[in-house]
Amino acid sequence: MHGEEGLSTTHEMYLKVLYRQQMENEVGRVRDLAKGLGVTPGTVCAVLKKLEHAGLVLHDHYGTVKLTPAGIRMAECVVRRFDIIRGLLIEVFGLDTGAAEVDACTMEHAVSPATINRMESMLQLVRTGEIVVQPLHQVGPSVSTCSDCEVTGTCQAVAGVERSRSQGKRS
């Protein structure tokens, strides 16, 4: 979480996607960032200006983008948080890969360094066999109030409020 340094979730996502592109191609391209992030090239350019001003990327006029050493450090931090959370969700909580990746992508921006370090320690203990866990998908369905939410993939409390609003508009 780099909120103290003024990085938003969006900025972190750009750094992460650019980092992965650089690992494959040595540089990123505006069009590839746009495709990977699901935004327009114009949006990418606007965000890159902010990242360049912060000293995290170098963006040339031909569309190539490269992380600075500071940008690489930030991106590696985001990737590390994602990988730890994803591993914990899969190996300890028993989530399928797709759900774990979606959740990890959301959570990576909100977890404190202290929490991520503890998650990493727990994951390491599980991986070395010092702690043995039975992934929750092997334990059985949840009986909590959120079991309906888990089945549908949507918070049923929020869905109920939205249904009430839409029915109120029809009256």
- Spans of all domains in the chain: 3-74, 79-139, 141-171
Neighbours of 33 (CB within 10 A): 23
**DSSP reduced 3-state for 143:** coil
DSSP secondary structure letter of residue 4: G
Look up residue 5 and give its two tokens. Answer: 């340094």
pTM of the model: 0.77
Instruction: Give the pLDDT of residue 137.
Output: 57
Look up residue 128 and give its two tokens. Answer: 């070395």
48-79 pLDDT per residue, tens: 999 999 999 999 877 799 999 999 999 999 99
Q: Does domain 3-74 correspond to CATH entry 3.20.20.70?
A: no
Domain 79-139: CATH architecture, name and number where available? Orthogonal Bundle (1.10)
Contact 160, 117 (CB under 8 A): no
97-106 pLDDT per residue, tens: 999 999 999 9
